Chains A and B, each alone.
Chain A
Amino acid sequence: MKLRCAQCHADFVPERDEAFLRCPYCHSFLFLDGSQTYKRLALPASIPASRAAALLRRDARRRDLALPGTGLQAQGFLYPFWGIRGTDLQDTLPAFSPVPFALNAFRLPASKVQWDTGEDVKGFKRVDPGETRSLEWMDHPSITSFSLYAVPFYRFRFGAADSPCEAFVDGVKGTVLWGLTPPSSTIAASRRYWLLMLALLAVTAGLAGFLPGFWVPFIAANAAAVASYPLFKKTFVPAEAPK
């Protein structure tokens, strides 16, 4: 990163990421306009795509969310985030737009940092920083330092084409961040449901087999179905969200 002194027009490279600098040539004090100059850093990915998929599956199982059995494809992205520091604040803000809900509350992890040369990183597509994303804080008087971080993420999309479910796995620490989730897979509830279904089948088959005629066993089978409904419904109570 090169800067030009506003006083003597000399080019120089700043040593630190600070808003206020001193020109090494004419010693005049300079203010670094953030819209023009900032330090670019990158967090190197430490998690491969296959591990990210395994982490996502583990988290989905824990939450009982339905994931497709096969074809879960990871797409690598390098998302830009502003790391801002001020007199009384330290924050991470997405520098791109639109921001998926899953990445809105993301905070920069404590990790190894390297200079971002702007070169392509294998397996990751670079997302450009947005022009309007820094307007909110750029002129804030208390902000003294800011840097742009390229953070690796794996994006997983699956489900319906017009409204896909979305999840991100942070490529540095492996944190799973959910966007739109699939509905609950009801694995635990469906085992009980399955037993009930077999029991109902046996009862109605027994009624139809032992009772003579058509209407008497038919009415009895229907009565059994109506009587078992509350039991079936109860199997789903744990799957429903608490109030």
Chain B
Amino acid sequence: MKRSRALSCPLCGGAASAPVDSRLTQCEYCDRRLFYTGDDFIPRMVLKPRFDETYIQSRFFSGLKGLLLPRGLPSRAFVLQKARRYVPFYLLTGKRGGVLDTVKERIVQDPSRGSGAWDTQGGAGMGGYYARQQAERVSVETTPDSRVVLGDFRYLYGAAVLQDLDIPGRELEDILERNLDIAEAARMQELSSSGEIIEATVPVKRVVQKGVESWQNAGEGVSVIEMDVRLVYVPVIEIVFRYGEEIYTVHIDEIEGALLSGHLPFRKEWAILAGVPLTAGLGFIVGKTLRSTLAFVMASGGRTEDTFAGIIWVGFFFMILLSIGLNLAWLLLRTPFHIKVLPGGQRRIAQASPVPRGPFTALSGFVTRALDQAIRGGSP
């Protein structure tokens, strides 16, 4: 619908819709069979999904188990939507070739060169004599030549921008490359009833131009002789689920059955497990320091200047310790972590959104500034 296509039946003049999956079509008014000859028609193919619903379901639920994920996630995840998406790729096939300028090499013997002297120092005997004589007499002569080269090519290019969908295009392209032999002609009506067909938004002209330019730059004299452009669709299942008030997604490819991408909730117990010993450790250090300070004050025997200076330093040390340590313990809990699913089912902890301000953020800022001032000796 980006360009207007006003087609009509040549027999009855009735409006005809543009063909989508086959050049052969039929007039809706007079039933005459029509063949669309326009250059803008692109044949479409599809890799049919190879797995049934049970397999996809088990693959999804097995992906919800792991040490980093909340315990009982498979039973607590509420599936909101399970939708199939057909991701388009351009398949460029054809022949390329041309006349390559080459060089013909010929070994010639020069009778004017070579002395035929005995190799007395090397001690190679008669063999050494003849080898040396041969090397001196032989030379390589080059003459310009040409050669006809011809070969098939097959390239895949993404036909839609997948950034907004969080589907890894590179991995999907590799899956398509490995399974291209099972691609079959697509019936678009059927596809649209079984899933969402993602629009091929990358203009085919740009892909062809880019491809042809790069091939011609790669080999001088080689040009594209013939080229067919097709659209191939790869099915991907997107499962959206709710965990509490949070919404997460997982993408599973339906050709090899692999987890492609997604986001999962993070098990917060790990943050508690890190925060609790940290707090206990801080308390231990604080208690021990207080005890030592008290002992120091008792031992100073009333020398007020030393005692005052000691208390100031201990207080400063406390502030650093508490602000940094407690802030860290707090942020371990407050940082919105989630688990990012990478192609092949690997997982990594990622920060989903900015870390909120902790109660000690202002204090740690003050301490950092004070330390900075102390190190710089009061200069700004």
Interface residues of A (CB under 8 A from B): 4, 6-7, 9, 31, 33, 35-36, 63-69, 96-101, 104, 128-133, 135-136, 139, 158-160, 162-163, 165, 178-186, 190, 193-194, 197, 200-210, 214, 217-218, 221-222, 224-225, 228-229, 232-233, 236, 239-243
Residues on the B chain within 8 Å of A139, using CB: 189
* CB interface residues, B 1-43, toward A, < 8 Å: 1-2, 6, 8, 12-18, 20, 28-29
- Min Cβ gap B246→A in Å is 5
Given that A101-B81, A165-B353 are contacting pairs, would A65 and B245 also be in contact in the complex, using a CB cutoff of 8 Å?
yes
B96 interfacial by beta-carbon distance below 8 Å: no
With a CB–CB cut-off of 8 A, which chain B residues contact A239? Answer: 244, 268
- Interchain CB contact under 8 A, B359 and A194: yes
- Report 5 cross-chain contacts, Cβ distance below 8 Å, ordered by A residue: A66-B352, A158-B354, A160-B351, A200-B276, A217-B288
Describe B's contact surface by its main secondary structure.
Answer: mixed
Q: CA separation between A182 and B266, bound complex, in Å? A: 11
Q: Which residue of A lies closest to B87 (CB)?
A: A98
A180, B248: Cβ atoms closer than 8 Å? yes
Given A183-B266, A183-B337, A204:B17 Cβ within 8 A: no
Find the residue from A36, A98, A240 having the highest chain B CB count within 10 A. A98
B13 adjacent to A7 (CB under 8 Å):
yes
Across the interface, do B283 and A208 meet the contact criterion of CB distance under 8 Å? yes
Beta-carbon contacts of B186-229 to A below 8 Å, as 1s and 0s?
00110111001111000000000000000000000000000000
Q: How long is the Cα–Cα vector from A217 to B276 in the complex, in angstroms?
A: 17
The residue in B197, B242, B329 that gathers the most chain A C-beta atoms within 10 A of its C-beta is B197
Contact A209 B268, CB 8 Å, known A67-B353, A98-B160: no
Neighbouring A residues of B276 by C-beta, 8 Å: 200, 225, 228-229, 232
- Looking at the complex, which one of A69, A159, A203 makes contact with B283 (CB distance below 8 Å)? A203
Q: Do A97 and B198 have beta carbons less than 8 Å apart?
A: yes
- B189/A99 in contact, CB under 8 A: no
Contact across chains for A132 and B20 when beta carbons are under 8 A apart? yes
Q: Which residues of A contact B337 (CB under 8 A)?
A: 183
Q: Which residues of A contact B285 (CB under 8 A)?
A: 208
A92–B245 alpha-carbon span in the complex (Å): 26
Q: Is the CB of B192 within 8 A of A204?
A: no
Task: Determine how close the nearest CB of chain B comes to the CB of A75; give it in whole angstroms.
Answer: 12
Give chain A residues whose Cβ lies under 8 Å from the Cβ of B28: 31, 33
Q: How far is the CB of A190 from chain B (nearest CB, A)?
A: 6
Is B199 a contact partner of A130 (Cβ separation < 8 A)?
A: yes
Residues of the B chain whose Cβ atoms lie less than 8 Å from the Cβ of A224: 280
Q: Which of A31, A160, A218 interacts with B352 by CB under 8 Å?
A: A160
- Pick out which of these stretches binds chain A: B70-78, B118-126, B362-370, B372-380: B70-78
From the candidates A33, A65, A131, A228, name the one contacting B246 in the complex (CB within 8 A).
Answer: A65
Tell me if B93 is interfacial: C-beta within 8 Å of chain A.
no
B114 CB to nearest A CB, Å: 69
Identify which of residues 42-84 in chain B touch chain A, using a CB-to-CB cut-off of 8 Å.
Answer: 70, 72, 75-77, 80-81, 83
In the complex, the answer to whether A207 meets B287 with C-beta atoms within 8 Å is yes
Is B277 engaged at the interface, CB distance under 8 Å to the other chain? Answer: yes
Shortest CB-to-CB span from A140 to chain B, Å, is 10
Whether B75 and A132, one on each chain, are in contact in the complex, defined by CB atoms closer than 8 angstroms, is no
**Residues in B whose Cβ lies below 8 Å from that of A98:** 85, 160, 164-165, 196, 198-199
Known: A33-B17, A101-B240, A224-B280. 6 other contacts (CB 8 A): A99-B196, A183-B266, A200-B283, A204-B281, A209-B290, A239-B244
Per the 8 Å Cβ criterion, residues 269-316 of B in contact with A are: 269, 272-273, 275-277, 279-288, 290-291
